[in-house]
Structure 1
Amino acid sequence: MAKTINRVKREKGDSFTPIVYICAPFSGDMEFNIHRAIRLGKIAYEKGKMPIIPHVQYPFMNDNYKKHRKDALRFDLILLSKCQEVWVLGDKVTAGMEKELSVAEKQHKMIRWFKEEEL
């Protein structure tokens, strides 16, 4: 049986680094959206967390190709399962984000919301 996060924190103390999944819009103005996701990842890092930023995980994949998009979302959900927290950027939830948030809720992840002006 997997250890609970609280038990791991107690056992590892200061050496425990929570992993944070950055959930943010990607489609549309991809360059702008990537930049925003990276800024939120930097905030996570500065707070002592290890950010996972799916926007920059697979630069060789093209979001306009259905297979690439489907595979990237599948990979992202695998990474999400390894995270303790999900940080969501903005008020607009895209279809991809909706899927990520649905999985995060089912896995009882801590979800935090950030507004653009907090970056």
Structure 2
Amino acid sequence: MNMVYIASPLRGDYNTNIKNAVEYCSLAGEQGVLPLAPHIIFSQWCNDTIPEQREKGLQLGLALLEKVDELWVMGTEFSQGMQGEVEFALNHKIPIFFVTHPHDPAYYPVSADENRLLTSVDCTPESNRENYEGQLVVLRHEHLKPEYRTPRNQIWTVTHGPGCRPDYVHSDTIHLTHPVDGDRMAVGRGEVWGVAAPEALAWISNAYSEFDATLLPGATPEGELCR
């Protein structure tokens, strides 16, 4: 069972934020992960309004974050503490998932198989600023239906489209082909994390044997348009 660090705001409307964190943990637990929300745990003895205790709580939270398998960032408003947690996770190569609709478990990054979903840490640094044409990219999990959310379905080849260039003008559309199935679809540039890192592709080939040949240079599968 994956241990998941649940990051969400605490300051502001304290009671509502605690209630939300409890709900997020409950929903995450129903998805088969072990959720851990630091401000539910450490707020029992670290008062967030006292600077020394707040700092202690933040340090305890980072110590916990170092032990988990994934970081889930809940919602679209990030507190200073959450920003620190994201930075810490990036520095320690902990997979980060941004859950934009935290009250809806359909958005939770739970894989449909036993393999964890891919995220930005599985991409080459700064690759979201590169030209994507001809590259193998990582599709964000939220753009797949829950039953199709596996790492296998997150690796795609970018064939063409005005959004291939980071300085696109009128449209950010990129066209994708799946390297195994040959399925095709069009998405916005922002719907991919970036270019898949060599280590991620090696892991994919190990996890899914059908990728062994297709990830070799020059492999070009043929397939039908996704429906």
Given the two structures, how large is their TM-score scaled by the length of structure 1? Answer: 0.81
How far apart, CA to CA, are the structure 2 residues paired with 1:55 and 1:72? 8
- The superposition leaves residues 97-116 of structure 1 with CA deviations (integer Å, 9 ceiling, x where unpaired) of 00001001111112122224
- Tell me, yes or no, if structure 1 residue 36 matches structure 2 residue 34: no
Equivalent residue for 2:74? 89
- The superposition leaves residues 39-77 of structure 1 with CA deviations (integer Å, 9 ceiling, x where unpaired) of 111122111111111121121221110100000000000
Q: Give percent identity, aligned residues only.
A: 31
How far apart, CA to CA, are the structure 2 residues paired with 1:62 and 1:19? 25
In structure 2, give the amino acid aligned to 1:29: D
How far apart, CA to CA, are the structure 2 residues paired with 1:56 and 1:42? 12
Q: How does 1:1-119 map to 2 (within 5 A)?
A: 17-58=1-42, 59-114=44-99, 115-118=101-104
2:22 is paired with a residue of what secondary structure?
helix
In structure 2, give the amino acid aligned to 1:47: Q
RMSD across aligned positions (CA): 1.3
2:76 is paired with a residue of what secondary structure?
coil
Q: Larger % of helix: which?
A: 1
Misfit runs of 4+, over 3 Å:
none
2:17 is paired with a residue of what secondary structure?
helix
Conserved in 1, the CA contact under 8 Å of 2:3 and 2:69? yes
How far apart, CA to CA, are the structure 1 residues paired with 2:32 and 2:92? 23
Larger radius of gyration: 2
Shift of 1:118: 2.0
Specify which structure has the bigger relative contact order, considering alpha-carbon pairs within 8 angstroms and separated by 6 or more residues: 1
How far apart, CA to CA, are the structure 2 residues paired with 1:117 and 1:60? 27
In structure 2, give the amino acid aligned to 1:42: S
- The size of the alignment, in residue pairs, is 103
1:57 is paired with a residue of what secondary structure?
helix
1:40 is paired with a residue of what secondary structure?
helix
Q: Which runs of 5+ in 1 are unaligned?
A: 1-16
How far apart, CA to CA, are the structure 2 residues paired with 1:66 and 1:98? 18
How far apart, CA to CA, are the structure 1 residues paired with 2:103 and 2:49? 29
Given the two structures, how large is their TM-score scaled by the length of structure 2? Answer: 0.44
